[in-house]
Amino acid sequence: MNPKIVQCQGKWCISSPYFLYNEPKMSISHLPIGRRSQRIDLSFYEGNEVFPRHRGYSGVYALRIAPYQHVDLYLVDGGKTQSIETITEDIPCPKVRNGIETRFENGRWEKLLKTGWKLA
């Protein structure tokens, strides 16, 4: 899942999901957007994916508004932005045949087959 534009607590934010590797859960952080490189109405782009502008965590995301046109979205404190809300969701075990053992390992569900552990 890629980060998306959402509205949280009356502010425009970037929802940034990440998976926990030791348990079947996903956390979604809402990072507030401070300024934009152009004046646009973000409500038109709610739910659209954004992409980090630079490698690593710089606090700048790019929103594609048209082919070959992007708007830069800057987080409030740059690379040190604190989440205004974090939501944790369970990742359910996928359906498998009866009697097949499953486990959550390294951020993914696996099932035990005769050939060993495989992706579920």
What percent of the chain stands above pLDDT 90?
A: 58
Q: Where are the domains of the chain?
A: 4-92
Model confidence pTM above 0.85: no
pLDDT per residue as tens digits for the range 68-102? 999 999 998 877 888 999 999 999 999 999 989 99
- Looking at the DSSP assignment, which residues form a beta bridge with residue 116? 113
C-alpha count within 13 angstroms, C-beta hemisphere, residue 91: 21
Q: Which residues in 11-41 are b (16+ Cβ under 10 Å) and which e?
A: ebbbbbeeeeeeebeeebbbbbbeeeeeeee
| 3-state secondary structure at position 39 | coil
